[in-house]
Amino acid sequence: MSDDNTPADSKLTSSKRRWAAEGKFLTGRIARPETERLPPGQHLVKNWPVLDLGQQPAISMESWRLDVGGLVETPLSLSWADFQAIEQSTKVSDIHCVTTWSRYDNRWKGVSTRDLLDLAMPKPQAGYVMLTSYDGYTTNLPLADFAAEDAILVTSWEGLPLTPDHGGPMRLVVPHLYFWKSAKWLRRIELIPDDEAGFWEKNGYHMYGDPWREQRYSDD
């Protein structure tokens, strides 16, 4: 983590730890994204449920920064103006939350993770990414997944600025993994050589999180 913040415990976090221990929602079925749009154990919603660790950080545009560091040739510390000056992309994707809801055809605008990585230039030793949010939340994923074609650092959803309850002013969206990997209120992106567990991964959730293989919880 890049700071000393520790995410606050809440009724939701306690419940999700219990779900992991109990294996709640698991169906034992494997699906193929090439032939099935809805992963096992998921149900469709039309709204966008709000889930967090019980606190939403207040972030002003004047103080907002995104740092990209670790195993990169060019470390970045971007202001909001800097971030907006990067080429903007639009993408449409589905999202799948480990709490069993999915939402189709979300329209995003922001900076492609590939465009950001082109600026930072990952070193050959970089294999994974650790994400740190303004509320102290952390999560991990392989660099290859962070750099997926449809992964995007989102500032707009459905044509409107991303609201704070959904991670605004900017969050990550990696559609092919469970949505806890798509960190809200993103503050730092650190490229690292080996995989390390983030907040939920230390609390019983899977290190990778593939919805179609129903990787909700740790195998340990």
CATH code for the domain of 194: 3.90.420.10
Which residue numbers in the chain have pLDDT < 70?
Answer: 1-13, 19-22, 24-25, 52-54, 220
State how many domains the chain has. Answer: 1
Q: Which domain holds residue 155?
A: 65-212
pLDDT for res 4:
41
C-alpha dist (Å) from residue 95 to 44, 139, 166: 10, 17, 13
- Is 31 a member of any domain? no
**What own/partner pairs with CB < 8 Å and gap ≥ 24 does 77-83 have?**
80/169, 83/111, 83/153, 83/155, 83/170
Predicted confidence at residue 25, as pLDDT, reads 66
Say what the pLDDT of residue 18 is.
Answer: 76
Largest CA distance in the chain: 47
Residue-level pLDDT at 9: 59
What is the pLDDT at residue 144? 98
SS3 content of the chain, % helix, strand, coil (to 5): 20, 30, 50
Among candidates 170, 52, 47, which has minimal Cα distance to 103?
Answer: 47
Question: Could you tell me if residue 34 is inside a domain?
Answer: no
11: in domain: no
- Residue 53 has a pLDDT of 62
How much is the pLDDT for 219?
A: 73
- Residue 3 confidence (pLDDT): 40
Q: Which burial class, exposed, middle or buried, applies to 62 when counting CB atoms under 10 A from its CB (0-12, 13-18, 19+)?
A: exposed
